[in-house]
Amino acid sequence: MKIKVKFLKASLVAALTASAFSMPAVAQVKVGVINSLSGNFAAFGSRYNTGMLVALEEINADGGINGQKLELITQDDRSEAQSALAALESLNKQDVPLVIGSYASGITGPLSKVATRQKLPLIVLGSADDSITKPGSDWVFRAKHNSTIVANAYFNYFDNLRQKHPELKKIAVMYGNGAWPTSVSEEGVRQAEKRGYEVVGKQAYDQGTTDFRPILNKFRTSSPDILLTSSYADDGIAIARQIKEVGLNAKVVAIDTASSMISFIQQVGDQSENIVSAVSWSPDVKYEGTPQLYERLKAKAKEEPSFYEAEGYLALTVAADALRRAGSLDREKVRDALAKTNLKTPVTDVTFESFDGFKGQNPIKSVIIQIQDGKHVTVFPENLASQAAKLSN
């Protein structure tokens, strides 16, 4: 009897061992993600999530991380800094080799400081405020653009227009008082003064403002040739409508961030024509592999993709590349691999460099998209453009 029991046990062990080898490999490499899946920024967080899922499918179809499946541990920051910090603490205890996050600069700024203290590599997902990588940290990396890069993209575009239209001299700037809009606008004013534009108006407004007509009327009396605004989605829609209401006839209108969304065109309609925005990627930009990426993002999103999906794709692609080269889940080795990144993607080329006071920042070149005939098209820089830029009047 004892012999039979031992035999059965041995047979059971052998069977379980054999079945274990025949089962699909379980996830071995887990990456933490902190994203705004609820709250004020959920619309953006959803788009970032879509891009990361497309990248995840590609990574695992291509062998994962050196033969091991990649898995995302995603935590919702509820569009709040305190929730994001709690999520980071949770992920730190789970010993993830790196974290990707988040959307708003007011969230990612505190995250970057705590991640640095914990010696946990952080890849910035959507935040662009300069202060996150300036002066920066050995543990924080941003593949997308920052405020300075965006402001310079606008003024390189304005300068290019001014070569053809010398009358473009006066500029007015308005912005929400959040970290990102403030950062872009302050750098924009510095660039305007440096490049010889006359700043005829500069005005911040409280987030949540719905009536921008007092500011726009004030600007109208100075007849600006260029209006540069930095706002989130709902603000930008109201601003675009009220520009027409007050009769502010600027020849160039830039509504940063908000006008880059498909929903902006749908809600603003014909009044959105010729408005421009600086983005890190556009579906018609001339990078190798962009058309194929566009189709994959569109299929996953079930709608036209934006640069938000592309930035989500980019962040996880960069993470996977570093993990493969690190050959280890040790955080210092992952950090060192990130620092040596030299990667070409359908979104942009990625290297992390120290320049102009920045550290761990990709010197990405933003592109300018314009709404023409109800669609976003790339108009600058000219070597990446699909259409020529148009003035508003």
Q: Tell me: pLDDT of 143 over 80.
A: yes
pLDDT attached to residue 248:
96
Q: Residues 172, 228: one domain?
A: yes
Q: Residues 153, 297: one domain?
A: no
Average per-residue pLDDT for the chain:
91
Q: What is the phi/psi pair of residue 372, to 5°?
A: -130, 125
More confident residue, 213 or 235: 213
Q: Tell me: pLDDT of 74 over 90.
A: yes
Amino acid (1-letter code) at residue 127: S
Report yes or no on 19 lying in a domain: no
Q: Residues 346, 373: one domain?
A: no
Cα 386 from Cα 373, distance rounded (Å): 14
Burial class (CB in 10 A: 0-12, 13-18, 19+), 319: buried
Which CATH number characterizes residue 376's domain? 3.40.50.2300
Mean pLDDT of 58-83: 97
Report yes or no on 21 lying in a domain: no
Dihedral sign from CA coordinates of 245, 376, 352, 125: positive
Q: Residues 122, 161: one domain?
A: no
Asked if 60 and 318 touch (Cβ cutoff 8 Å), the reply is no
How many angstroms from the chain centroid is the CA of residue 235?
19
Q: Tell me: pLDDT of 393 over 80.
A: no
Model confidence band, residue 3 (pLDDT cutoffs 50, 70, 90):
very low
Q: Residues 372, 231: one domain?
A: yes
Q: Residues 159, 261: one domain?
A: yes
pLDDT attached to residue 16:
39
User: What is the maximum alpha-carbon separation in the chain?
Assistant: 101
Asked if 292 and 346 touch (Cβ cutoff 8 Å), the reply is yes
Report yes or no on 22 lying in a domain: no
Q: List residues bridging with 382 in a β-sheet.
A: none
pLDDT attached to residue 13:
43
Q: Tell me: pLDDT of 5 over 50.
A: no
Cα 16 from Cα 23, distance rounded (Å): 10
Mean pLDDT of 337-351: 97
Report yes or no on 305 lying in a domain: yes
Return the H-helix or E-strand segment holding 14: helix 2-22
pLDDT attached to residue 18:
38
Tens of pLDDT, residue by residue over 253-287, are 999 988 998 889 999 999 999 999 999 998 887 78
Tens of pLDDT, residue by residue over 11-38, are 444 443 433 333 344 568 999 999 999 9
Report yes or no on 334 lying in a domain: yes
Q: Residues 141, 161: one domain?
A: no
Q: Is it true that the peptide bond before 135 is cis, omega within 30 degrees of 0?
A: yes
pLDDT attached to residue 26:
53
Q: Tell me: pLDDT of 10 over 60.
A: no
Report yes or no on 91 lying in a domain: yes
Q: Residues 295, 274: one domain?
A: no
Mean pLDDT of 153-167: 97
CB within 8 Å of 78: residues ≥ 6 apart = 36, 37, 38, 39
Report yes or no on 57 lying in a domain: yes
Report yes or no on 386 lying in a domain: no
Mean pLDDT of 156-167: 97
Mean pLDDT of 46-71: 97
Q: Residues 161, 265: one domain?
A: yes
pLDDT attached to residue 262:
87
**Which tokens is 319 given?**
């993470």
Model confidence band, residue 110 (pLDDT cutoffs 50, 70, 90):
very high
pLDDT attached to residue 27:
60
How many structural domains is the chain composed of?
2
Q: Residues 232, 372: one domain?
A: yes
Mean pLDDT of 301-318: 95
Give the CA radius of gyration of the chain.
24
Which domain does 184 fall in, by range? 148-279+367-380
Q: Residues 293, 317: one domain?
A: yes
Q: Residues 271, 349: one domain?
A: no
